[in-house]
Each structure stands twice: as structure tokens, then as C-alpha cells.
Amino acid sequence: MQPNYPHDSDGDALRRVAAHGSYMSQPMLIEFPVVVATESAAKEFSAIAEGQGFKVHLWKHYDDPNWDVICAVDMVATYPEVVRIQQQLTEMASPFCGIL
């Protein structure tokens, strides 16, 4: 039985994960990319995210000036928890002009 998720981008993403055979009741590694403008901001934000328990790595595409701070966490992927973590990261990234 597929979980009943809201009809928005987060619900759509969770439906795709479930449709690909993931066990939605089991913990899995979920990555939340946060985009920041500079390497120094990416490094500062990374330290804060790591301090909050996220597994973090930086990534920069060669033709994009921005930096991606990939914040990963092992979790059961429920809709409320995904939304809560996105809000948490949005608040943490605000001083760095970071966006999810």
C-alpha cells in the first residue's frame, strides 16, 4: 500500500521514492541540497549543519558559480519530517543567503 502524501512537490518526491521500491517505513539516507553563493559561505554553513547532525559534503558544478551544500540525514521519510527538516535548513541557511 502506497502512503497518502499531499499533492505538492514534497509529496510528489516521496511518491517517486516509494514507487521505486523503497520501504518508506525504514530509515534511509535523504539528501537536502542547500545552494549558497560562495565557497566561504558554503564552508561556514557546512560547519553549522554538521553541528546539527547532518552529514555534509560540498559540490560545485564547473559552469555554475554557486555552491551546493548537500546535507544528508538517515531518517524515516515521512512527509511531516521532510517538511520539518527543510524548514530547519532554511532557517539555518538564511544568514548565508542559502536556498533549498
pLDDT digits (tens, 9 = 90+) for 19-72: 999 999 999 999 999 999 999 999 999 999 999 999 999 999 999 999 999 999
pLDDT for residue 94? 97
Confidence band of 1 (pLDDT split at 50, 70, 90):
low
- Distance in angstroms (rounded) separating the CA atoms of residues 79 and 42: 27
Residue 73: which region, alpha, beta or left (left: phi > 0; alpha: psi -120 to 50)? beta
- Distance in angstroms (rounded) separating the CA atoms of residues 43 and 57: 9
Instruction: Give yes or no for residue 13 having a pLDDT over 60.
Output: yes
Average pLDDT of the chain, as a whole number = 95
Reported pTM:
0.91
Q: Where are the alpha helices (DSSP H) in the chain?
A: 9-19, 39-51, 79-93
Domains of the chain: 27-96 (3.30.70)
